[in-house]
Amino acid sequence: MCVCVEQQRLVIILSVPLVQVDFFGTYVADVMTSSVKTLLDLSWTIGYFVSGDFLLSRHKWKARPVEDVWEEYRWYKEILVPLLCLLPLWVRFQQCLRRFLDTGTRFPNLLNALKSVSLRAFFC
């Protein structure tokens, strides 16, 4: 029962332009924004174990053929990593705009939205 409620909350947080922003959604988006590096490390670790690279010795791991280097695959390098970097910033940007539309106050909502956009430009 608890897992279903948490999954519903995550769906609500990701559909932020359509719903009103509450404290929990803001908190989760801030935590996601702050833990991008951790998410990237976690994705690399999962790829490392799923690919079986942990079974190779250091010499064999460094001498892998180029086609076997999963870190260079398009799905990881061009899709997953940018998605993990930009999704939290996008959610936070949408939350700031939604809060501005709901409250009508420019400060701090538009300033936080500008901060999210400038960080997104840095990652792209």
**What are 81-102's pLDDT values in tens digits?**
999 999 999 999 999 999 999 9
Band the pLDDT of 68: cuts 50, 70, 90: confident
Residue 124 scores a pLDDT above 60: no
Neighbours of 67 (CB within 10 A): 8
Count helices and strands in the chain by DSSP H and E runs: 7, 0
Q: What is the CA radius of gyration of the chain?
A: 19
This prediction's pTM: 0.81
Q: pLDDT, tens digit, for every residue of 12-59?
A: 777 777 788 889 888 988 899 899 999 999 999 999 999 999 998 888
Token pair in block for residue 47? 């790829």
* 51 close to 43: Cβ distance less than 8 angstroms: no
